[in-house]
Amino acid sequence: MVRIHIGFDDIDTPFGGCTTHLVAKIVLKWIKRPWTKFVDYPGLLRFNPGVPWKTRGNGGLVLRIDVPSIEKALDLYEEAIGIARDYIREFTHPESQPVVAAIIGDIPKYVKWLGKKCVKDVVPINLVERIIDIVKKQSNTTLLYNELSSKGKRGLIGALASIGLTLENSDYTYELIAYRKPEYWGKPRNIDPESVKYMDKATEGKTFLNYDYEVDKPLITPHGPDPVLLGIRGEEPSILVKALEMIKVEEPIDSWIIYRTNQATDMHLTRISSLEKARIYTGVIIEAIVSKDPKKIPGGHVIFSVSDGERKLDVAVYQPTGKFREIAYQLRRGDRIVVYGMIRPPSSKHGPTLNLEKLKIIEVAKIYRFEAPKCPRCGTRMKSMGRNKGYKCPKCGYRDPKARKIPVEIPRNIKPGFYQPPPRAFKHLMKPIERYGKEKTKPPKKMINKWCYPC
């Protein structure tokens, strides 16, 4: 037996996000062959969303297959390139730089390292080229890649990183993606929202981000003209198949595939102990103290600052995050919190800023307003006689030169707890709070029988 890992990236089309559609075509063709044994679900991998320039597509994909010989492995690689070329010819996108890469044999540790690095950091192409040079010198591994466009090899980073990101000792989830028959592409998707709500309730705790109840909208369907009909995200493959059966769809489903993915795992975030370690374009989790009260800025965004005792960092909560933004607006100086999010670079108007993805309030500070004391003789509120000169009663004339303002505790309307944006504001890698406690640490022991259709 020989194992081949084939990675794909940047096979973008005007629809956007269609690398999965190409991979679905390949899977459905190969799964029928007696000599191809898929050893894992197709991998759908998301990388650092904070990368400033577009160095790769939205997400890479990987297929891991056992075949009887190295010749068969090479055949599959060549065939994948051929199918990808046809696909690109049919759905051209002049800006994409698609790449198909393959590793036959064990995945070298540098490639695994690259996979993790691409989720958390900014990876330049020359680093990838250095890794390729090292790997090519190793005798027990064959590394191949093919640039499908003359534009360049931007897709190489994601294609190789997808191979390296094996999700063998880190958390993962699944997504079932269903595709439309070509005659429906570009037409509205007729999916019964009530059936999505029903599915959401029926599979509660096992699927997530199906429906946004704040704005009363299903979240399982994309809105573009692309061939994706819907995607259902969840903890286990079998529940996704059941969930699909609950959805009422007014069109025939062309095909569907279950992917194993790092979506909804917060894999892009790194816990840091001081703000000194908060680098731009990376994602962090840090405990800090609110050092500046929130204010609303034009556009309805909320900005506040946190401090770790030495350094300060601005935190921004964006308008589309609904009630989450209102929670953040109630924070006050002295509150002890944990912030989760990506660090944006400074601009002429602001320093580095954390885009808040999640918020844990650990301790709410006591806050006070100060008011004039009451007259001890008649109970009337006294008037100041000037700064540090004490107070005088306007009714009975009582004077107390030593009287000072009295602190009065202001009730707080937020409580310690974990807060997140509404489901519609979630990006691929963001982990919903409902997933806490469900993290996986080992790959699946075996695959379910029916993880794609028709197969």
**Nearest distance from residue 376's CB to Zn ion, in Å?**
8
When the beta carbons of 87 and 391 are compared against Zn ion, the nearer one is 391
Angle between helices 193-202 and 237-246 (to 10 degrees): 150
Going by C-alpha positions, the residue among 101, 141, 196, 100 that lies closest to residue 3 is 141
Which residues are at the interface with Zn ion (CB under 5 A)?
375, 377-378, 380, 393, 395-396, 398
**Nearest distance from residue 372's CB to Zn ion, in Å?**
12
When the beta carbons of 193 and 373 are compared against Zn ion, the nearer one is 373
**Nearest distance from residue 406's CB to Zn ion, in Å?**
16
When the beta carbons of 243 and 393 are compared against Zn ion, the nearer one is 393
**Nearest distance from residue 377's CB to Zn ion, in Å?**
4
Pairing of strands 253-261, 43-46: parallel
**Nearest distance from residue 404's CB to Zn ion, in Å?**
17
**Nearest distance from residue 384's CB to Zn ion, in Å?**
15
When the beta carbons of 277 and 374 are compared against Zn ion, the nearer one is 374
**Nearest distance from residue 386's CB to Zn ion, in Å?**
19
Going by C-alpha positions, the residue among 95, 131, 116, 114 that lies closest to residue 10 is 95
Residue with tokens 């979506």: 263
When the beta carbons of 27 and 393 are compared against Zn ion, the nearer one is 393
When the beta carbons of 274 and 380 are compared against Zn ion, the nearer one is 380
When the beta carbons of 390 and 444 are compared against Zn ion, the nearer one is 390
When the beta carbons of 252 and 376 are compared against Zn ion, the nearer one is 376
**Nearest distance from residue 388's CB to Zn ion, in Å?**
21
**Nearest distance from residue 408's CB to Zn ion, in Å?**
20
Q: 3-state secondary structure string, the chain?
A: CEEEEEEEECCCCCCCCCHHHHHHHHHHHHCCCCCCEECCCCEEEECCCCCCCCCCCCEEEEEEEEECCHHHHHHHHHHHHHHHHHHHHHCCCCCCCCEEEEEEECCCHHHHHHHHHHHHCCCCHHHHHHHHHHHHCCCCEEEEEEECCCCCCCHHHHHHHHHHCCCCCCCCEEEEEEEECHHHCCCCCCECHHHHHHHHHHCECCEECCEECCCCEECCCCCCCCCEEEEEEECCHHHHHHHHHHCCECCCEEEEEEEEECCCCCCCEEECCCHHHCCCCCEEEEEEEEEEEEEEECCCEEEEEEECCCCEEEEEECHHHHHHHHHHHCCCCCCEEEEEEEEECCCCCCCCEEEEEEEEEEECCCEEEEECCECCCCCCECEECCCCCCEECCCCCCEECCCCCEEEEECCCCCCEEECCCHHHCCCCCCCHHHCCCCCCCCCCCCCCCCEECC
When the beta carbons of 323 and 383 are compared against Zn ion, the nearer one is 383
Going by C-alpha positions, the residue among 82, 119, 81 that lies closest to residue 281 is 119
When the beta carbons of 37 and 374 are compared against Zn ion, the nearer one is 374
**Nearest distance from residue 368's CB to Zn ion, in Å?**
25
